[in-house]
Amino acid sequence: MDWSRAKNILIVSFLILDLFLGAQYIQMIQTQSKIIHEDQINRRQIEQLLEQVHVKANMDLLERKMVPEQLGVYKAVVSDLEKPWKKEEQGSYIQTFSPRLSFENEQDLERILKQQIPFFSDFRYDKALSSKQRRVYVQIVDQVPLFNGKVEVNLKNNQIESIRVLHFTQLERLSVVSLANVHTALYRLITNWEFNQHATIRNANIAYRSKVYNSVDNEHILIPYWYFESGKDYLFIQANRRGQNEEVEKMPIINPNSKGTNET
């Protein structure tokens, strides 16, 4: 064996290992510094950033948002429904009624929905997404809305034309994450998103969103997000305080008077 050559290979290998470990250490320090930096962001700094990008926000309203300190991250699957429900491409189920189902009032409507949907108790009425022609109920997980999980009821007068359902079940908690406060979330949003001139951030909330984890077994991951309303869009950013993923995702705000579909 050529010991001189082997020695050189070992030396080079150790040098590469040292460089790799050094890079990992620097990255860890930078990440920790960023966490500390973001956690120290205050209202005045946010207002200065908003002014720089010519964006308005009602800070008094945003700061009044009650946010839990921690939330779970869950694995879940989409619930199946049998006939006469029809499965749609995005995973939701729909049932159309002919003749339409009549109801007398909101209480009677919910009574019918409980009869039609075995897990309707997991949903809560969402007034902001509802209208005269449409009622929307959002699934609740850990007392927080699950943005994708919805019951959408299309109405004509006091009659049900159709019901669309997307429900997540078999929730298995994978971990617990500490949540970023509204200042940190705004900082990430402002520094990672290019706003239109003179845009306005109208509102902000915490919600779960589902991400496909295993399409073969229909498994999803439910992740906490901050979402902001600006213009005609929701702007989503992960709510994890450690901020591993600060990519901003956009989704159009559905007009309550239109017949929307579920996001999956």
Domain check: are 35 and 88 in the same one?
no
> With contact defined as beta carbons under 8 Å apart, do 180 and 41 qualify?
no
Q: Is residue 160 part of a domain?
A: yes
Cis bond before residue 252 (omega within 30° of 0): no
Task: Specify if 189 maps to a domain.
Answer: no
Q: Which alpha helices (DSSP H) does the chain contain, by range?
A: 3-39, 43-52, 59-63, 106-116, 182-192
Is residue 101 located within the same domain as residue 25? no
Residue located via tokens 């995005």: 90
Domain count across the chain: 2
Gap between the Cα atoms of 27 and 163, Å rounded: 50
Is the pLDDT at 230 greater than 70? The verdict is yes
pLDDT (average), residues 152-181: 95
Token pair 């948002």 in the structure block, residue = 65
Chosen domain end from 140, 170, 200: 170
Would you state the pLDDT for residue 217?
73
For 8-12, 70-74, 76-80, 112-116, which range has the lowest pLDDT when averaged over its residues? 8-12
Say yes or no: 36 and 87 in one domain. Answer: no
What is residue 2's predicted lDDT score, i.e. its pLDDT? 60
Domain-located, residue 110: yes
- Separation of alpha carbons 141 and 152, rounded Å: 18
pLDDT band at 223 (very low <50, low <70, confident <90, very high): very high
Q: Is residue 231 part of a domain?
A: no
The domain of 122 spans: 78-170
Model confidence over 119-128: pLDDT tens digits? 999 999 999 8
Residue 137 domain flag: yes
Residue 237 lies in a domain: no
CATH number at residue 126: 3.30.310.160
CA distance 167 to 122: 9
**Assigned domain for 104 exists:** yes
204 falls in which pLDDT band (50, 70, 90)? very high
**Radius of gyration (Cα) for the chain, nearest Å?**
24
Measured distance CA(97)–CA(106) in Å, rounded: 18
In a domain? residue 121:
yes
Q: Quote the crossing angle between the two packed helices 43-52 and 182-192, to the nearest 10°.
A: 20
pLDDT of residue 41: 86
When the pLDDT of each residue in the chain is averaged and rounded to a whole number, the result is 85
